[in-house]
Amino acid sequence: MNTKTKRKTDPALAHARREQVLAAAADCFKRRGYHGAGMAEISRTAGMSAGHIYNYFASKEAIIESIIERDMEEMFSIFQEFEDQPGDLVTILLDGLDHGVERHTDINQGALDLEMLAEAARNEKVALLLRESDKLAREKMRSLLIGERSPLKLASMAEIDSRIEVMFAVMSGLLLRKTLNPSINKAGLLVALRPAMKTLLTPFESLEPLN
């Protein structure tokens, strides 16, 4: 009746298994770190033998690379939402802060991001993937900030890029904050975060006649 199932390699099963492994690995990396988590633990978490994982991933390295790629796609869809949303750009971005803070102060996700960043220092492939991802994110952001509806559309490109760097620094810095001060909370953060971001999204001149 249904699709001629199960003859020859089933790509759906293979895909499901890959996801199973990625989820398990992400989980283990968060808890134990990339080097701390052994293939044995990952396979136990994924509910399959260690040997079998190698039918889906060439190496442990390939697993973390896949995780990064999955994260890149997630980030893309977030920027796409900003682009698609109608209305005042500053408002949209400031409203997006809630979600951004949520994402960046999630202790699990943060631990994983940190692992990937630390790994980048000694694994060139990981570094390249992360930098590529970051580059695309900056470009997305730039295209938003120089767009017609942006209050910064007249600013120089150098200034735009500087603003982006600082905005990205704040957001990614939140990852570390949650590790260094586990008691912070979203609401508290936003009190100062929103004004700071607003500053970064509007022209400076009026505020800084001296600088």
Judged by CB under 7 A, the residue of 23, 27, 33, 60 near DNA is 60
Q: Segment 23-42, which members bind DNA (CB under 7 A)?
A: 35-40
- Residue partners of 12: CB distance under 8 A and separation at least 6: none
Q: Segment 56-115, which members bind a copy of itself (CB under 8 A)?
A: 111, 114-115
Chain centre distance of CA 77: 11
Compute the distance between CA of residue 69 and CA of residue 63 in angstroms, rounded to an integer: 10
Q: Of the ranges 12-20, 28-36, 60-68, 69-77, which one interacts with a copy of itself (CB under 8 A)?
A: 28-36
Q: What is the DSSP string of 147-204?
A: STT-TTTTS-HHHHHHHHHHHHHHHHHHHHHHHH-TT--HHHHHHHHHHHHHHHHS-S
55 — phi, psi (to 5°)? -80, -15
Q: Which is nearer to DNA, 15 or 153 (CB)?
A: 15
In whole angstroms, the minimum distance from the beta carbon of 127 to DNA comes to 18
Binding site for a copy of itself (CB under 8 A): 30-33, 35-36, 111, 114-115, 117-122, 127, 130-131, 134-135, 138, 158-159, 161-163, 165-177, 179-182, 184, 188-196, 198-200, 204, 207-208, 211
